[in-house]
Chains A and B, each alone.
Chain A
Amino acid sequence: MSAVQLSRKEKMLVHCAPIREERVDDRALRLALHRARKTEAFAIQQDFDKAATALVQAIPIPQEITDWIPTDTFIAPTRRAWKKYAQNPAFLATGIAVLVIAVVAIFQLVERMNRFPGEPTARRLLTTASSTHAIMLDPVKTDAGALGDFFFMKHRLVHYDVPPEFAELKTLGCRVFDDEEGQRVGQVWVVEKKMQFFLFPAERDPKTGKAREFSGWRSIEQERWAGVVKEQSGVCFMAAVHGSAKDLAPYISKPKG
């Protein structure tokens, strides 16, 4: 046996060391015992304890005691030790990783569900909206609903109609321009909330050339601008406003005939 010097804490733990190895489930105790096993004093202590334990186990059990032992358990079923698992660093790390993956997956799923044909164009036009000044448009003061005829008559743009939900809003100006992809875009500036409307061709299937339809209103947000988009007869209409989707919600919540 080598003359290993145990620290005060190690000595304290070694004095409480369980006799059976499987009872040693404390890390600090295990470390203390690892060092103590190199000492003669600990070997003597263990022999002493083993002898005393053997004597205790030799205490006879009266028949009355054995008879009294119930067949059913009295102890409450163990609750799930989720707190114990939660405190384990490995479980904690795995849990956090799974949570992050789940959040990302849900985020992507929600984003994908909100996608619609023509969304890239709509996003591009939101950028256009943010950089447009009223002065860039031809002054036109009328109801937005009346501009459908104007687009058709002057620019030969069919079905460039403002939906009924926004048709009654008063306009300040409008223009028609070609976007990056050469598509004809109608832009309208209205008085209310300095809102802008865009009318542009719906996305088309490259094989069949047919417009990709979608039903109802879809919303997009980008750099503090929000838009609601609807497709009808191969043309998309987007109302854009500087703010959030909540600002546009009242207009589209009650469909008008």
Chain B
Amino acid sequence: MAEEKQDLLQLYRFCFLMLADAAKAEEVFHATLRQAAQQAANGEPPRDRLWFFRNARWRCLEAGERSLQAEDVKLAQDELAAWAPSQIKKLEPQQLAVWISGAPDPQRTALALFYLDEFNYRDLLSVTELKPLELSKLLCDGRRQFQAWLDTTFPVTQT
């Protein structure tokens, strides 16, 4: 049960990363849990914990479609830098969520799930519904784009 509680806490964080909005994240979290409870009451409980993340993912994407959409632009990329951790430490969780939620899907889902650090490689592939090469490229590009954004936000001279 403790593990399931941890999963549900991470589910909220996932929603938050996908939407960068605490109120909307809470809404999706509640809707997902409500559906799980209904299914359980009907004798068809969710098969595994991945169900919660799959369900919440589509709800987040649906909620995201109703708000401002990110422009489809090619973001700059930088090589990962040794000083990146010190740049990241300067961020607030909200800033990271804004950056991730602004990414196009499925990169958004891939990054949000990956940085939850809750899943193994196969679970990631299963929830994102991506092929290994696609997941790898999205994560690799995501890191480099985030590094470029960090370099712009916190230029090296400031670190």
Q: Which residues of A contact B47 (CB under 8 A)?
A: 75-76
Instruction: Determine whether the beta carbon of B143 is less than 8 Å from that of A48.
Output: yes
Query: In the complex, what's the smallest C-beta–C-beta distance from A30 to chain B, in angstroms?
Result: 10
Residues of B within 8 A of A (CB): 1, 4-5, 8-9, 12-13, 16-17, 22, 26, 29-30, 33, 36-37, 39-40, 45-49, 51, 80-82, 84-85, 88-89, 91, 93, 96-97, 114-117, 119-122, 124, 132-133, 135-137, 139-140, 143, 146-147
Q: Which residues of A contact B85 (CB under 8 A)?
A: 47-48, 50-51
Instruction: Determine whether the beta carbon of B33 is less than 8 Å from that of A70.
Output: yes
Residue A45 interfacial (CB < 8 Å): yes
Residues of A within 8 A of B (CB): 11-13, 15-20, 23-26, 29, 41, 44-45, 47-62, 64-66, 68-71, 73-76
Query: In the complex, what's the smallest C-beta–C-beta distance from A24 to chain B, in angstroms?
Result: 7
Q: Which residues of A contact B114 (CB under 8 A)?
A: 16
Q: Which residues of A contact B121 (CB under 8 A)?
A: 13, 16-18, 23-26, 29
Instruction: Determine whether the beta carbon of B139 is less than 8 Å from that of A16.
Output: yes
A-B CB contacts (within 8 Å), total count: 136
Contact of B117 among A18, A29, A47, A71 (CB under 8 A): A18
Q: Which residues of B contact A11 (CB under 8 A)?
A: 136
Provide a sorted-by-A list of 17 A–B residue pairs whose CB atoms are within 8 angstroms: A19-B117, A20-B117, A23-B121, A49-B143, A52-B115, A54-B88, A56-B17, A56-B115, A58-B93, A62-B22, A66-B9, A68-B30, A71-B1, A73-B1, A74-B37, A74-B40, A76-B48
Given A12-B133, A55-B91, CB of A25 within 8 Å of CB of B120: yes
Given A12-B136, A62-B22, A76-B46, CB of A44 within 8 Å of CB of B29: no
Instruction: Determine whether the beta carbon of A65 is less than 8 Å from that of B26.
Output: yes
Query: In the complex, what's the smallest C-beta–C-beta distance from A44 to chain B, in angstroms?
Result: 5
